[in-house]
Structure 1
Amino acid sequence: MGLKYRHSKMTVYELRIAQVNCDNNFDVIHVFIRASSADSAIDLKTGETLAANEESRKFSEYWTLIRRPSAKTLQKPGLVEGSCPNCGASLEIGQATVCNTCGSFIRSGYYDWVLAKITQACEWEYSEPGLIPDWNVMKQADSDFNLQQIEDRAGVVFWMMRLSESSQSLEPMQRFATEAFCEQYQLLNNERGYSYMENVALGSVSLKGFRITKHWDSIFILVIWSGVPVTVGSQNRILEKRRVSQITREIYILGRRHGVKTNQNNTLSSAHCPGCGGPLSSTFAVTCSYCNTLLNEGSNGWILERITNESDPAYTKVIERKTTTEKDAEEDADTRSARDIVTIMAQILLADGITDPDEMKLLNKIAQYYDMSEDQVRSIISSLQAGMVYIPAPADNRESWSLLLAAARMALADGQISPVEKRELILLAQHIGYSTADVTRAIKAEERRRFEEMREEKHRLAREQMQSELLKNKENEPEEDDES
């Protein structure tokens, strides 16, 4: 809030398309980037450099880009170049969601690829939407409902929450939350004192389920983030405590009136008016000055009802409802995040309260592959020991097997599993109802997957080389003389 980051000494080590998904709403490309840079934090008001790293740090991220199935690759400048992808007029990126010249919704994905989100590699996960409980029920009621808009909305709500904390004001939240939530939030703050988070990082936002009723619909979203807690005393003095980054997992419950439909034009424009798409006259406006739309009572979009945790009965009841597709699926395309795997394994392996060096080696090996530092692993363990983080145990055999496969996959990241690492995998398996033979089966399944992946990559490179040679030979062929 009031900071910008400048990157220098940028080096890209790896850039590849990790996954592609298509449905009736969007084509989605997930791009994996492994790079390094030296970062500086700069105060927006003064221009002063507050912190700077002389040495480059490595990072891994997934960039998710979306566009409509009807969109075609542009043969002219588009959003990246600062032009309207429809008419070509110059744009002030970030200031409007509608082109002033042609009226096109520029971030709708109808004309060009749009960056939907950037996710740290350790937080990235993917789950087929059809496996989310009651997904099909929601799609029948609202055919344009999509994950991208929900993730965008929840991300905006999250940052408005942080702004409310740091500014000690409800104004940032009033447009995005119910009056009841705002009143309760104010009451809690008065009771526990003023506190906020520094060095905040939003890890991931993922839709987990629905509660659909006759008059009101609710969605349950898992938000994972981190920050350093800061507590301010009665005389506005910061109380000195141990400054350690804290992992937080929260469930955001957003609601809207039943029957409200998704506006596809505003998919990635949650900070703009959902009615007309216009920029709001104030960051904290509750009513649009262009069309007079009321923004915080659920008639025009999703608003925050409350924030809870993963042990809340209302949440557990929602995620326990399995769709027919999910119950019958033996395998699916789920990809669980590395942080989830590390957290669940730490939660299980450290249940006896003892931090074993061998257990730490396996956790750090998995974390290192995804550019998670040992400090981040220690932060996870510290949060678990303090009772601030809890991940529900796998709900069924499918989730348990997916967890074991993911752990085997990450342990095999360097191509081998030591006897000590296999022992820790066996201990994990026993906690979730599997045997030593199942661990061996999981490792072999992962080895087969790696072999097939490497073979496909080898064939792809061979095809590309053959096509390149054919093209080169064609260019070198002598031109035939014209016949007289």
Structure 2
Amino acid sequence: MFRFRAIQWIVLSSVFVFEARVAFARAGGGGGYSSGSSRSSSSSASSSSYSSAQGSGEAGLIDLVVFVLVAGLILLLRRHGRRLMAERARTRSARQLALISRIQERDPDFDLETFEQRISRAFLRIQEGWSKQDLSDVRGFMSDGLYERFSIQLREQKEAGYFNRMSDVRVLGHEVVAVHPRAHFDVVSVRITAAATDVRVDVESGREIDGTRRAETFAEIWRFLRGREAATKAAAGLFEGQCPNCAAPIDPRRGWACRSCGSQLEGAPPDWVLVGITQVSEWSQPESDEPDWLKAAVGRDPGLTVEQLEDRASVLFWRLMDSERTGRLDELAHLCRGVFLERQEQRMAVRATRTTVVMRDCAIGSVRLRGILPGDQWDLALVEIRWSGDVLEVRSGEAARETGGRILRRSLLVMARRAGVQSDLGRAIVSAHCVRCGAPDEGPLEGRCGFCGEALDDGRDWLIERFLELESAEASQLCAEVVQARFAAAYGEAPGPVDEPGLSAARPGGEELLGWCLALAYCDGRIDRRELEELERLGDRLGVPADRARRLRQAAQFGRLEVEAPRNPAEAREWIEALTTLAAVDGPLGERELATIADLAGRVGIEVPG
């Protein structure tokens, strides 16, 4: 890699020298000898002519040498680049085969090339449906959360009087980046690289809207899921609108319940279903195994899955965004708890009297479950959503006004469900369907299913409890509680209430505590702005001089920090409280962070289960 970078630098430098030499030769060859001289004799003219010819010869020779050098280096760079690309392709291929082997252990007929071909066809069908503003042909292999996302985005387009026309759509490549066999599902994440030309077209006139044409190459992570016991039986299936068992056409609304052969697979789809699209910039490798905190939750509720919670969160998010934009509550009311609905009603009342801000043309970067908080009456599920949107100002009786800005946001969607309710595995990716009859949620009547009349807001399904900015104090407190719950699930003992440590400036052991927090912050190889700010505040509270804190931070950054053990279990518990509060700043605890906290506990005899 170093040689490759060095060759790049040499070539670029040589090209610069070559271009500079050409430019210099042009300037010197012309003006240097015509700037004028008081000497106009023949001898002077002869000398000037000789000098110009000599300089021209030297410049031509130098240019020739530089040209040959650059050409040789470019040829060498190309050869090295081809070898490097071939090596990367072999590594990528080997990694994909290793991942796919995890599926082939149970399904020997699974073939990567066939799978990629099917993905390409599904990708193109979705783009075609998007351009037509009609997703009925692809509904059968999309989860409810994803279908809700596309449907509301298309509804917004229709109300604005335009549609997106995608042309020259090409799939440039696939790469399987993650395969995770779960308790009930196989989950495969595929990086899809594609190119297309996108333009907005006015529906009424059929003309292209000026300034909206854009040709680009892009990459996204598409996540697919199927039942753990599913097996490859045919080259066609849900992607192609067919039952994977008997090849009969399927009902797009309930793709894995074939009306012809009656085949179902215990609530898990017998063929691959698209359950999520994540931007590459927001994607991170999922945990290889189900974490202890999730296992504890599944122990209380065997049908609970991450996929179900994230799918339900997507449905709730998009219904909320649609309600915020339109000012209507009819399709949101049955998806909220009473307190949240009252707040939304108050917000809508305010919009009738003064200017408010709403978001339009929203897009999601990622949806990620952060944890579950069991309660006596209600259980809470915390889901982080990274999204963006255009900011609009809305005034009563006036058209919405664009502010000219698009913002990125990180929000925490808090969902609530009555304690003790057991999840239905069959609804894992159909979370916008009735919990009783399975009918799709297509405009309930006064909070009841339009098919069977069952109440939809009684807490048997996850409802919106709160929708918070991730940086808010309330969200931070909830995330800290999740960290405590995760620690307790992993190590059998909670670190205690998450409050301010309340340490005095003169407190002994402050430097050691700051050292442990620094070790925790840097143990996963990354640290963000909010963590740094939290560490600076902690250092101030502990009375650690700024210069000393800076040296500790540098030592932690380069892995040279040695940390002392707390003097007793009471001090250890106090330190663990500070560590869990810090860990909550940037998301869930990873394996290294848990190991760091476990090490701290183990040094003073707090037992940590294996």
TM-score under structure 1 length normalisation? 0.64
Residue in structure 1 matched with residue 237 of structure 2 by the alignment: 78
Residue in structure 2 matched with residue 256 of structure 1 by the alignment: 417
Structure 1's unaligned 5+ residue stretches are 329-393, 408-429, 442-484
Kindly report which structure 2 residues correspond to 1:273-422, keeping only aligned pairs within 5 A, or say none: 273-282=434-443, 286-299=447-460, 301-310=461-470, 311-312=473-474, 313-323=477-487, 397-398=519-520, 400-404=522-526
TM-fit CA distance, 1:288: 1.8
TM-fit CA distance, 1:143: 1.4
1:98 and 1:278 in contact (8 A); partners too: no
Which one of 366, 374, 398 corresponds to residue 212 of structure 1?
374
* Cα distance in structure 1, aligned partners of 2:325 and 2:482: 33
1:194 and 1:232 in contact (8 A); partners too: yes
Which one of 554, 575, 580 corresponds to residue 435 of structure 1?
554
* Cα distance in structure 2, aligned partners of 1:397 and 1:257: 39
The alpha-carbon distance between structure 1 residues 105 and 226, as it changes in their structure 2 partners (threshold 3 A), is farther
The alpha-carbon distance between structure 1 residues 108 and 30, as it changes in their structure 2 partners (threshold 3 A), is farther
Which one of 349, 352, 362 corresponds to residue 190 of structure 1?
349
Which one of 166, 172, 176 corresponds to residue 7 of structure 1?
166
1:173 and 1:284 in contact (8 A); partners too: no
Residue in structure 2 matched with residue 157 of structure 1 by the alignment: 316
The alpha-carbon distance between structure 1 residues 247 and 290, as it changes in their structure 2 partners (threshold 3 A), is same
Kindly report which structure 2 residues correspond to 1:110-149, keeping only aligned pairs within 5 A, or say none: 110-128=269-287, 134-149=293-308
Deviates more, 1:174-183 or 1:140-149: 174-183
* Cα distance in structure 2, aligned partners of 1:404 and 1:68: 35
Any idea what SS the aligned residue of 2:195 has? strand
Residue in structure 1 matched with residue 102 of structure 2 by the alignment: none
TM-fit CA distance, 1:43: 6.9
Work out whether 1:222 is the aligned partner of 2:384. yes
Any idea what SS the aligned residue of 2:523 has? helix
Percent identity reads: 27
* Cα distance in structure 2, aligned partners of 1:106 and 1:48: 47
The alpha-carbon distance between structure 1 residues 11 and 138, as it changes in their structure 2 partners (threshold 3 A), is same
Work out whether 1:203 is the aligned partner of 2:322. no
Higher relative contact order (CA 8 A, sep 6+): 1
* Cα distance in structure 2, aligned partners of 1:433 and 1:402: 17
TM-fit CA distance, 1:191: 3.1
Amino acid at match of 1:304: I
1:37 and 1:58 in contact (8 A); partners too: yes
Amino acid at match of 2:468: T
The alpha-carbon distance between structure 1 residues 134 and 305, as it changes in their structure 2 partners (threshold 3 A), is same
Amino acid at match of 1:289: G
The alpha-carbon distance between structure 1 residues 178 and 433, as it changes in their structure 2 partners (threshold 3 A), is farther
Deviations, residues 410-457 of structure 1 (Å, cap 9, x unaligned): xxxxxxxxxxxxxxxxxxxx889643684489xxxxxxxxxxxxxxxx
The alpha-carbon distance between structure 1 residues 120 and 305, as it changes in their structure 2 partners (threshold 3 A), is same
Residue in structure 2 matched with residue 29 of structure 1 by the alignment: 188
1:20 and 1:27 in contact (8 A); partners too: yes
The alpha-carbon distance between structure 1 residues 138 and 95, as it changes in their structure 2 partners (threshold 3 A), is closer
Structure 2's unaligned 5+ residue stretches are 1-152, 158-162, 493-515, 530-548, 561-610
* Cα distance in structure 1, aligned partners of 2:427 and 2:276: 15
* Cα distance in structure 1, aligned partners of 2:189 and 2:463: 28
1:11 and 1:37 in contact (8 A); partners too: yes
* Cα distance in structure 2, aligned partners of 1:280 and 1:204: 24
Residue in structure 1 matched with residue 563 of structure 2 by the alignment: none
TM-fit CA distance, 1:318: 2.2
Greater share of strand residues, 1 or 2? 1
Any idea what SS the aligned residue of 2:465 has? strand
The alpha-carbon distance between structure 1 residues 76 and 46, as it changes in their structure 2 partners (threshold 3 A), is farther
Work out whether 1:166 is the aligned partner of 2:285. no
2:268 and 2:425 in contact (8 A); partners too: no
Amino acid at match of 1:141: R
1:132 and 1:208 in contact (8 A); partners too: no
Deviates more, 1:103-112 or 1:228-237: 103-112
Q: How many residues align?
A: 353
Which one of 225, 233, 242 corresponds to residue 66 of structure 1?
225
Amino acid at match of 2:453: N
Amino acid at match of 1:400: Y
2:181 and 2:187 in contact (8 A); partners too: yes
* Cα distance in structure 2, aligned partners of 1:406 and 1:15: 31
* Cα distance in structure 2, aligned partners of 1:113 and 1:127: 19
Larger radius of gyration: 2
TM-fit CA distance, 1:259: 1.6
* Cα distance in structure 2, aligned partners of 1:52 and 1:81: 36
TM-fit CA distance, 1:49: 5.5
Greater share of helix residues, 1 or 2? 2
Amino acid at match of 2:388: S
The alpha-carbon distance between structure 1 residues 279 and 210, as it changes in their structure 2 partners (threshold 3 A), is closer
Any idea what SS the aligned residue of 2:335 has? coil
* Cα distance in structure 2, aligned partners of 1:275 and 1:30: 31
The alpha-carbon distance between structure 1 residues 19 and 53, as it changes in their structure 2 partners (threshold 3 A), is same
- Cα RMSD for the two superposed structures: 3.5
The alpha-carbon distance between structure 1 residues 10 and 107, as it changes in their structure 2 partners (threshold 3 A), is farther
Any idea what SS the aligned residue of 1:244 has? strand
Kindly report which structure 2 residues correspond to 1:456-471, keeping only aligned pairs within 5 A, or say none: none
Which one of 384, 389, 393 corresponds to residue 231 of structure 1?
393
